[in-house]
Structure 1
């Protein structure tokens, strides 16, 4: 396995997207210093000082850019990468979202640990980022993703529930609120498993003076998979002895009972009570669908990340 270098990186990536077909929310001006202080509080709590930082923003978030210009020089401990794109693409390096994700992934592979911070008030930008981050394998569980936005809670819930990068990975949303002259923030995350099922949970808040307050004994970037709360987890499998074997036996009243055995099945069967879930092996539909969707993807990720 190749030895990876560890250094702090602050990258500002501007992306030019096609104009959104839906009308974007209109927001007033934000105090850049206040945004910088809120970001500092959350990152100080959630990200180790030696981890690389990757900042990604859309071209309409000028106040985020100003906040980072205040912040970055004070935290520079190694190499800084700044990629600017003008509105017409004539200044700096013109990056598409695919290129941004590819560059960010390279930086993640070069670092011991990485935190990605995405700034945008545009739901289209965030949805495109989520899709490209998933397709481009930007995120692994050790990578923390913080999305900073002023979008309404309804937009946040839609993004957190409907995109794998936001719902299942190590992701939080920091919602900035400046209404009525008050400056405060709420922190949200999607919990895919819980006593009442999947839900968007408020993890904490930042009140006046940037005091971080947690809610309901929660933490920033909470662990999502240490308790599945009795959920039935679907398993895709391949009948390959001695790992997975399926047997059909006569059951009561002339029915047929399907049982499973094999090394991999027994491993999952032993893990299930520890993490509080039950197994639901899906019907086997052939080698190709399973290998295409799971095995090949995982092998590519393992080889490229080693």
Structure 2
């Protein structure tokens, strides 16, 4: 456990909570407990123990499944997590790798250390875990009965099970870990094996889907997807050295979780590992985040909900709503003042005659101007002769 302690004490791992998973009670010795206590993990160290693991025992499988589910819950709560698995049982290691992948317990942000004294020939069940997750293998080298050193190995992503592990460093007893740059190297920058990845897609606006004849395709034709997202895939494929092919889901949806726990659409293909990744854009939700890893946002947009109107209703008194009562009161007082002034000035004409029919015109003309109502030329009446009397 000194090698594990040396790794956990590096600055890169100190800010992450540590989970130790054991299946052999004899591993919990005084040196082991001392190593756990002195591990400089600021968020603490939690030890999970599965006693007497048996591949054919239901109790052991249930306990291991429960432990894997707890690791998944903790991984969703923390931005980083270090999981250390210590075992010399190949069946236990294979079962942990299978369940952790099947139940999506280990995200890329979760760092996995597998420490064992087994030979590489007994670790075939760890290939999927070591190659497609942020994992390292610590393999103890024995000199007679004592451990002379620990080799640090990583597996290239999308490599064959028969491919050899790549040794990145060696730790020797009574030394500190000096090569922190070798810890959890970024494996998904450039693929050395040039794999062919399967990408789930769905038709989006400004994109096109079509089928082309291709004798190298599984069913003799290839799905062609054109648009902005396809250009993004081409950019990554060229930089990361991979080829790809597009596939569609059976129900042609982005996917939702059913009551029985299964998924439909593109999310279902990702969860069942029928595709390597899905080309969104996906709207994130807690259930989707818990089911699969997601990248940083590649597009941000605003969305609005629109509903139809029940019908246009005209309010005959709607013209009163824009102005307050004080404004209308002031307006009416000013209107009365204007009417009074017009009546006084129009009562006597310059020629000394009084027009009796001027009263109604003086009343309605300011009101018509206030309501912005026009006056037809055909309605203008001139006073007949004899209506004006001499004063």
Would you call these one fold, judging by a TM-score over 0.5? yes
Alpha carbons 2:18, 2:43 under 8 Å: kept: no
1:228 is paired with a residue whose SS is coil
In the TM superposition, residue 117 of structure 1 has moved relative to its aligned partner by: 0.3
- 1:54-133 mapped onto 2 (5 Å cutoff): 54-58=19-23, 60-75=24-39, 77=42, 81=46, 96-133=63-100
1:203 aligns with 2:204: no
Alpha carbons 2:108, 2:134 under 8 Å: kept: yes
Residue 176 (structure 1) aligned to one of 136, 140, 147: 140
Corresponding residue for 2:289?
Answer: 302
Residue 9 (structure 2) aligned to one of 22, 34, 44: 44
Higher percent of residues as strand: 1
Alpha carbons 1:236, 1:290 under 8 Å: kept: no
Gaps of 5+ in 2: 54-59, 215-219, 252-263, 279-283, 295-391
Alpha carbons 2:80, 2:110 under 8 Å: kept: yes
Which of structures 1 and 2 has the bigger CA Rg? 2
1:140-163 deviations in whole A, cap 9, x for unaligned? 11110001110112123x1342x3
Cα separation, 2, equivalents of 1:177 and 1:257: 49
Cα separation, 2, equivalents of 1:201 and 1:139: 21
Alpha carbons 2:76, 2:290 under 8 Å: kept: no
Q: How many residues align?
A: 255
- Distance change (3 Å), C-alpha of 1:140 and 1:243: farther
Corresponding residue for 1:245?
Answer: 208
Cα separation, 2, equivalents of 1:256 and 1:236: 16
Cα separation, 1, equivalents of 2:77 and 2:105: 13
Corresponding residue for 2:269?
Answer: 293
In the TM superposition, residue 250 of structure 1 has moved relative to its aligned partner by: 8.9
- Distance change (3 Å), C-alpha of 1:159 and 1:212: farther
In the TM superposition, residue 238 of structure 1 has moved relative to its aligned partner by: 3.8
1:266 aligns with 2:231: yes
- Distance change (3 Å), C-alpha of 1:220 and 1:61: farther
TM-score by length of 2: 0.55
Gaps of 5+ in 1: 1-34, 89-93
Alpha carbons 2:131, 2:155 under 8 Å: kept: yes
In the TM superposition, residue 262 of structure 1 has moved relative to its aligned partner by: 2.6
Corresponding residue for 1:18?
Answer: none
Corresponding residue for 1:189?
Answer: 154
Alpha carbons 2:21, 2:49 under 8 Å: kept: no
Cα separation, 2, equivalents of 1:265 and 1:113: 31
1:35-67 deviations in whole A, cap 9, x for unaligned? 3x2222222347421210000010x25235544
Cα separation, 2, equivalents of 1:74 and 1:148: 18
Residue 223 (structure 1) aligned to one of 175, 186, 191: 186
Higher relative contact order (Cα pairs below 8 Å, separated by 6+ residues): 1
Cα separation, 2, equivalents of 1:142 and 1:245: 34
1:56-107 deviations in whole A, cap 9, x for unaligned? 010x25235544311222347555655566659xxxxx97001111122222
